[in-house]
Structure 1
Amino acid sequence: MFVAKRMTPNPVTISPTATVADASELMRTHKFRRLPVVDKGRLVGIVTDRDLREVSPSPATTLSIFELNYLLAKMQVKEVMRTNVITIRDDATIEEAALLMYNNKIGGLVVVNAAGAVVGIITETDIFKTFVDVMGLPEGKTRLTINATDTVGVIHDITEVFKELGINIGSLACYKNGDDKAEIVIRADVRDVTELAARLEKLGFKVAHVAKIG
């Protein structure tokens, strides 16, 4: 799955010479938290709701409301924007986007195309929704956690049991749990969990947990 399929396309952008008040109004109107700053078609920065909060006056200020409005009306986006923008290509994978956000502790990425033009925004919410969709959570399947060793052929042996019982697997994920241990999480349309678990345990695979999700 690629970023282009999960991002919000054609994002609202703002000019570096626009005022902070303009940026604040755009964010409030559209209910988003970040604005790419574009100058002559080129990405030059990003301004977030946090950046705007940092330049907003505190209750302790001695300035009048008229003075504050005047200052905010004059302050430009380029004075508060961040120029070290972390971007990702639209043809990158969702996994790459998730890792980039995780490593940099950020909640969103500006998406650019091969020419460097801004074509979208992808956020942690998009990543979370992708996880839910990929794992098939809304479909109401049975979730099984199977303990296994992390060795070649384990997935084949386990899925062969599902095939023998005519069980269609909706999603499968494998998680390391120690040097040679693994948890295999499978979501499938299982009618008889007891029979499935018994066959798996004959092969040395313990069904550690069963739940119906969705």
Structure 2
Amino acid sequence: MFVADHMTTSPITITKETPVLDALELMKKHRFRELPVVQGNRLVSLVTEKELLAVSPSPATTLSVYEIRGLMSKLMVSDVMIKNPITVDPYCTIEEAALIMREHKISCLLVEENEVLVGIITQTDIFEALIKILGLRKAGTRMVIESRDRVGLIAEITSIVRDCKVNVIGIAVLEKNRERVHVMLRLGTKDPGHLIKALEEAGFKIVKCSC
């Protein structure tokens, strides 16, 4: 699954000349935490709520509202924006995007194609993609199978599932140690009794099975 399938296209943007107060108001209105900074349709930078709040006066300040607004009106996005933000192309995979965010400790990625901003993908979008991949919103059964890791393991399991005429909605594999893995299946049935029996007869251990 690609970033293009889950990103927000045509995101709301600002320019370097946007006042910090206006950027904060825009974030508050749309419940954003990041805003791309552009010049025309060319990506320039990124500004986050964290950077904007860092230059905002503390609630404990003794300045009056008018003094605060006077000071803040002089601050532009160009004063606090992130230089050289990390970008990806639309055909970056979801797992690659998640890894980049994790390694750089960032909450979003700007999506760029031919130097033109085409979208933005956030941590929330990544979580939503994971939910879809695993079929968590679809009715059915979640089954976890423990097995020795080996070539052809998934083929063996799905062959048994097929013979039991059960549809696989989602699948994931977690390595427990060097020799054993947990295989999670999201199945399109609420009555997997016959499948459990077939898997156990084939030597598989069912760790958990729940609707």
> Shorter-chain TM-score category?
over 0.9
C-alpha distance in 2 between matches for 1:195 and 1:166: 10
Which structure 2 segments of 5+ residues have no match?
none
The question of whether the paired residues in 2 share the 8 Å contact of 1:150 and 1:182 is answered with yes
* Correspondence list, 1:91-102, <5 A: 91-102=91-102
Q: Secondary structure at the match of 1:109?
A: strand
CA drift at 1:34: 0.6
Q: Is structure 2 residue 107 aligned with structure 1 residue 107?
A: yes
User: Following TM superposition, by how much is the alpha carbon of 1:78 offset from its aligned partner in structure 2, in angstroms?
Assistant: 0.6
User: What residue identity is the alignment partner of 1:112?
Assistant: E
Equivalence for 1:130: 129
SS at match of 2:137: helix
| 1:60 aligned partner | 60
| Corresponding residue number in structure 2 for 1:169 | 168
Please say if 1:140 is aligned against 2:139: yes
Deviation at 1:40, TM superposition (A): 4.3
**TM score, norm. by length of structure 2:** 0.94
Structure 1: tracts of 5 or more residues without a match = none
| One-letter amino acid of the counterpart of residue 174, structure 1 | V
Deviation of residue 70 (structure 1)? 0.6
In the TM superposition, what is the alpha-carbon distance from 1:26 to its structure 2 partner? Answer: 1.5
Change (3 A) 1:71 1:192: closer
Q: Secondary structure at the match of 1:159?
A: helix
Q: Out of 171-180 and 39-48, give the one that drifted further.
A: 39-48
Q: Deviations over 1:102-160 (max 9, x none)?
A: 111211111111x1111111011111111111111111111110001110111121112
Deviations 1:162-194 (A, max 9, x none): 122111211111111100110001111346433
Is the 8 Å Cα contact of residues 175 and 182 (structure 1) preserved in structure 2? yes
TM-score where L is the length of structure 1: 0.92
8 Å Cα contact 2:166-2:187 kept in structure 1 = yes
Q: Is the 8 A contact 2:140 2:190 kept in 1?
A: no
What's the counterpart of residue 180 of structure 2? 181
- Distance in 1, Cα, partners of 2:13 & 2:188: 45
Letter in 1 for 2:164: L
8 Å CA contact retained: 1:197, 1:206: no
**Percent identity for Structure 1 against Structure 2:** 42
Rounded Cα–Cα distance in structure 2 between residues aligned with 1:189 and 1:11: 36
RMSD: 1.5
For residue 44 of structure 1, report the CA deviation from its aligned partner.
Answer: 2.2
Distance across 1 between alignment mates of 2:174 and 2:99: 16
CA distance in 2 between counterparts of 1:75 and 1:163 reads: 63
The residue number in structure 2 matching 1:204 is 203
> Across the two proteins, how many residue pairs are aligned to each other?
211
